[in-house]
């Protein structure tokens, strides 16, 4: 494969990884019992079109409700407003052009977007590593334990493609081109807030570099690579565009339903509690580790992630990618309700796949990581994707 063009190599690795995941899905489907969606032992296509895939299909076919569904107590119930519109919109266009159903069109979009995401990821990785290491980073990304979500009708692959595109353009300082990509990304999944925070902090950092460089220039020193005024203004514009994009979908939900909290009320309907920043992490910590260790657990997590961000393989990612990872993790700590779906929500931290490849050039190490990831794919699919009723009803979501 080494003589093939880079995009052929990356595409081949992605397709191979998705075939492995498809085999795991099909094997798990053979053991799928009675469930809320279809008879036992479904085929592959039925098996991957469950969980949130049904909500995206609902948004594709029927749009979003003008009135929020509520219980007898007036509490907002689960509905399609929690699912961002770009993915089902593209599915509706493809279904209209091909005459196929939502399951097929959304699956095709997810697969193709996943391919585009790994191609963009390779381009990002090449800015920080050689060809071979960048390829290993792609392998780690494609084989990640939750990477099977890239081939099911979820918006993760589309969001990953747009996020990667925005980060690539930012690394290449093409901030104006990144604006429409960032706006589209904000309509695919709720990743606009951490992107806006990343761009804002990056703007302040580049501005500080510019001021420092001007002082050194007065002293007769030359500082290469400093942003021009035009680049700084463009980065400020990208920050503003990302901030607007982050608020766009909640604003649309408000305008459509007349309820200013339509999006947040819908999003928290799955939690059963109101949105209180940070609190769910402490609640989950207490539930898992007890009243003492549970309170300390979030602080230990933050400390461990801080050490990770300071490690040599992560520092090698550069300012833009490290800032994104820090802001996204901060966003999860503030707003996320930690549960089994948290594993899937770690996928936007994809730059760390390159860091994992930079840890060692040993084939034994890299091969072991891939094998471990594939084994954990089996755990993720069998434990979380396959449905099995819990004693109290329902099941853990993937």
d(CA 241, CA 239): 6
Determine, yes or no, domain membership for 282: no
d(CA 96, CA 274): 38
The per-residue pLDDT for 222 is 64
Greatest extent of the chain over all pairs of C-alpha atoms, in Å: 76
pLDDT tens figures, 335-359: 999 999 999 999 999 999 999 999 9
In this prediction, the residues of the chain whose per-residue pLDDT falls under 50 are: none
* 242 and 192 Cβ atoms separated by less than 8 Å: yes
Tokens 């490690």, residue?
311
In angstroms, what CA-CA distances link 200 with 194, 315, 319? Answer: 10, 20, 13
Residue 387: both structure tokens together: 């449905």
| Domain assignment of residue 258, yes or no | yes
Instruction: Answer whether residue 397 is part of any domain.
Output: no
Q: What are phi and psi of 76, to 5 degrees?
A: -65, 135
How far apart, in whole angstroms, are the C-alpha atoms of residue 209 and residue 223?
Answer: 9
The answer to whether 134 and 354 are in contact (CB under 8 A) is: yes
Stretch (H or E) spanning 333: helix 319-335
Q: How far is CA 87 from the centre of its chain?
A: 14
> Is residue 316 domain-resident?
no
In a domain, 28, yes or no: yes
Four-CA torsion 335, 341, 347, 352, nearest 10 degrees = 80
Number of domains in the chain: 1
Task: Compute the distance between CA of residue 232 and CA of residue 229 in angstroms, rounded to an integer.
Answer: 5
Beta carbons of 21 and 374 less than 8 angstroms apart: no
What is the domain range of residue 59?
6-276+350-385
pTM of the model: 0.96
Neighbours of 157 (CB within 10 A): 27
What are the φ and ψ backbone dihedral angles of 30, each rounded to 5 degrees?
Answer: -65, -25
The pLDDT of residue 110 is 98
pLDDT at residue 21, as a whole number: 98
In a domain, 374, yes or no: yes
142 in a domain, yes or no?
yes
Domain-embedded: residue 293: no
State how far the Cα of 138 lies from the Cα of 158, in Å rounded to an integer: 17
Close Cβ partners of 321 (under 8 Å, ≥ 6 residues apart): 124, 128, 167, 171, 351
């Amino acid at each position: 494969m080494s003589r093939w063009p880079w995009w052929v190599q990356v595409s081949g690795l992605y397709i191979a990884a998705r075939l492995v995941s498809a085999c795991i899905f099909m094997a798990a489907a053979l053991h799928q019992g009675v469930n809320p969606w279809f008879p036992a032992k479904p085929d592959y296509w039925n098996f991957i079109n469950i969980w949130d895939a049904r909500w995206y299909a609902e948004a594709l076919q029927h749009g979003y409700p003008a009135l929020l569904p509520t219980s007898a107590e007036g509490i907002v119930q689960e509905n399609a407003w929690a699912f961002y519109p770009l993915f089902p919109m593209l599915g509706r266009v493809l279904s209209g052009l091909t005459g196929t159903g939502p399951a097929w069109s959304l699956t095709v979009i997810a697969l193709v977007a996943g391919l585009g995401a790994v191609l963009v990821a390779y381009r990002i990785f090449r800015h920080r590593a050689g060809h071979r290491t960048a390829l290993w980073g792609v392998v780690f990304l494609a084989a990640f334990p939750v990477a099977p979500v890239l081939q099911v009708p979820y918006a993760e692959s589309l969001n990953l493609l747009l996020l990667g595109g925005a980060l690539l353009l930012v690394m290449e300082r093409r901030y104006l081109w990144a604006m429409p990509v960032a706006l589209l990304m904000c309509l695919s999944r709720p990743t606009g807030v951490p992107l806006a925070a990343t761009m804002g902090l990056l703007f302040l950092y580049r501005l500080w570099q510019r001021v420092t460089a001007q002082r050194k220039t007065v002293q007769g020193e030359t500082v290469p690579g400093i942003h021009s005024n035009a680049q700084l203004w463009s980065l400020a514009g990208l920050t503003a565009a990302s901030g607007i994009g982050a608020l766009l979908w909640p604003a649309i939900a408000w305008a459509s339903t007349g309820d200013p909290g339509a999006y947040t009320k819908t999003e928290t309907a799955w939690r059963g509690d109101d949105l209180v920043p940070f609190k769910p992490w402490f609640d989950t910590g207490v539930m898992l580790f007890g009243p003492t260790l549970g309170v300390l657990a979030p602080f230990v997590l933050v400390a461990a992630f801080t050490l990770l961000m300071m490690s040599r393989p992560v520092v090698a990612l550069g300012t833009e990618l490290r800032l994104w990872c820090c802001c996204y993790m901060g966003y999860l700590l503030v707003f996320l309700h930690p549960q089994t779906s948290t594993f899937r929500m770690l996928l936007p931290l994809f730059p760390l796949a390159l860091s994992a490849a930079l840890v060692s050039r040993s084939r034994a190490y890299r091969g072991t990581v891939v094998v471990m990831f594939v084994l954990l794919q089996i755990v993720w699919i069998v434990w979380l994707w396959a449905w099995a009723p819990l004693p109290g009803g329902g099941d853990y979501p993937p």
